[in-house]
Amino acid sequence: MGFSLQDSERQVRGQRRAQATPRVGRNTILTKEPIPKPVHTLALVFAGRLSRRQAAAIEYHLAVNRVLLARVEGRLLLTDVERANLAVLGLAMGRDLLEENSLIVQPETILRWHRQLVAAKWTYKARSNPNRVGLMKTIKALAVKFAIENPSWGKRTPWSTFIKAHAASIAATGFFTTEV
């Protein structure tokens, strides 16, 4: 993956800011003296050795993968989880490294899988919940139970029955009305 013009402009702005104002983080030690030369050299040697060891490990794993792929006949059938892992890791590597190191699928395929993952993340389709079936059965059983225990619920009552049941409330509210 190449950098765009915006990326390079951001880098230049970031470098200017870093030169103009020193930033202080949690782990920053504020000293006016520069790092001693032997410590600096030792840190560079250690970082270089670590980088060489990582490169050697990566080369070893690529060689092992090539040997194993040579012994496999036909296509490899990948699961959805394996495709998702390859897509996420492949995007982090970038197209250039993918073209150099992709052994079992084409780089375009890995990037397509990543696009599909992103699309699936933002597609809100109704997902079936296996517990939902049990919940609906419970709700239906409760509704039937309430209907049996309370036979008058849900039935239309004649107007006279309503007035008899609520006569006290109706009479009390009659005093609060005013003519306009």
- Residue 3 above 60 pLDDT? no
The answer to whether 101 and 93 are in contact (CB under 8 A) is: yes
Q: What is the DSSP letter of 104?
A: S
Q: Treating both helix axes as pointing N-terminal to C-terminal, what angle do 80-93 and 107-121 enclose, rounded to 10 degrees?
A: 110
State yes or no: pLDDT of 29 exceeds 70. no
User: Side chain identity at 35, as an amino acid letter?
Assistant: I
**Residues 6+ positions from 102 with CB-CB distance below 8 Å:** 90, 110
Long-range contacts, 5-10 (Cβ 8 Å, 24+) = none
In whole angstroms, give the CA distance from residue 64 to residue 103. 11
How many other C-beta atoms can be found within 10 angstroms of the C-beta atom of residue 84? Answer: 16
- Residue 123 backbone dihedrals phi, psi, to 5 degrees: -100, 115
Give the highest mean pLDDT range of 26-30, 39-43, 74-78, 175-179. 74-78
C-alpha separations of 57 from 46, 101, 155 in Å: 17, 14, 78
Contacts of 157 (CB under 8 A, 6+ apart): 165
pTM beyond 0.75: no
List, for residues 87-131, the tens digit of each pLDDT value: 998 888 888 888 888 888 899 999 999 999 998 888 766 566 666
**Given a cut of 70, is residue 55 above it in pLDDT?**
yes
The count of other CB atoms within 10 Å of the CB of residue 113 is 22
